[in-house]
Amino acid sequence: MCMVIFAPLFAVFAFALCGGYSGQITVKVECLDKTQSNISIRFAYPFRLQQVHFNALLCERKRHETVFLEGDYSSSAQFFVTVSVLAFLYSLLATVVYIFYQNKYREKNRGPVVDCLVTVVFSGLWFVSSVAWAKTLSGLKKATDVGQMQLLLSACRDPENLCETLQEPAWTNLNMSVAFGFLNFSLWAGNIWFAYKETGLHNSGQRHLSRSLSEKRSSSFRQYSQSSFDQSGTGFGQRLYSQASFDLSSGNLSLPQTTLGQPMLYRQMGSPTSRGPLIFINESQ
């Protein structure tokens, strides 16, 4: 349920905060002759700063120059946004399949297995992309630092002129995008166990282990019973009684040789205790 609700939502926050970002720096340049100019520097996703340029005032002869920023931070940003979009689309697709196509999802256990594998893959992608984007964001902040921007302006490098920063870029959205990246990683990584349980491989492994233990116990019991029977010798293997034989031709009754042992006590359910002799029959002639 957490994946159904939070996975698409967190993925949207991640790529919206990063992909929709736009920053601006405004620098006021005041020349020695009191000529003033406000310079606005805008940059946005995918943060190819080497393509960002602006016109800056040259205090000498009131001319302007074209200045380009430095650095390309697009690869990590685009990788992060791509992972976010793919995770969002897969979350929606998995939700629709799980709710409306449950039979197809459970057929031959292919759906849960695929879902488990994809969950593992996206967990790794979220971790790698979040780490890469966090490192890239640190470099982006240094490249667009206000002091670094002033060094690019010829007018600001002249100590006779005055440069003042009127507006700095806000990094809140990009910082939150990194936080949502690691939050998505925690969510997907935590769902690996639940996706694995859906496959049924966990239960099948336990059943196989239980079956193996039962077979071992049965084998041990059979070996123990057989050895106990063999060790009993003739005590339990002998017949304790023999039926009387009749000679039909002579009408005589012949009994086998018997020996009387010591009387023993026995008790039957619902009958009083009585004494009686125990008869041992010796069949040897």
Residue 155, domain member (yes or no): yes
Residue 94, domain member (yes or no): yes
Residue 245, domain member (yes or no): no
pLDDT tier for residue 201 given thresholds of 50, 70 and 90: low
Residue 252, domain member (yes or no): no
Residue 242, domain member (yes or no): no
Split into its structural domains, the chain has a count of 1
Tokens standing for 112?
Answer: 């849960």
Gap between the terminal Cα atoms of the chain: 85
Range(s) of the domain holding residue 156: 2-201
Residue 246, domain member (yes or no): no
* Number of residues in the chain: 285
Residue 263, domain member (yes or no): no
Do residues 10 and 25 lie in contact, with contact meaning Cβ atoms separated by under 8 Å? no
What is the per-residue pLDDT for 147?
Answer: 87
The whole-angstrom separation of Cα 62 and Cα 209 is 86
Q: What's the whole-model pTM score?
A: 0.68
Do residues 138 and 47 lie in contact, with contact meaning Cβ atoms separated by under 8 Å? no
Q: For 133-169, what is each residue's pLDDT tens digit? A: 999 999 999 999 988 888 888 888 888 889 999 999 9
What is the per-residue pLDDT for 196?
Answer: 86
Sign of the alpha-carbon dihedral angle for 199, 200, 204, 206: positive
Residue 48, domain member (yes or no): yes
Give 21 or 231, the one with higher predicted confidence.
21
Q: For 216-253, what is each residue's pLDDT tens digit? A: 555 554 554 555 445 544 444 444 344 444 444 444 54
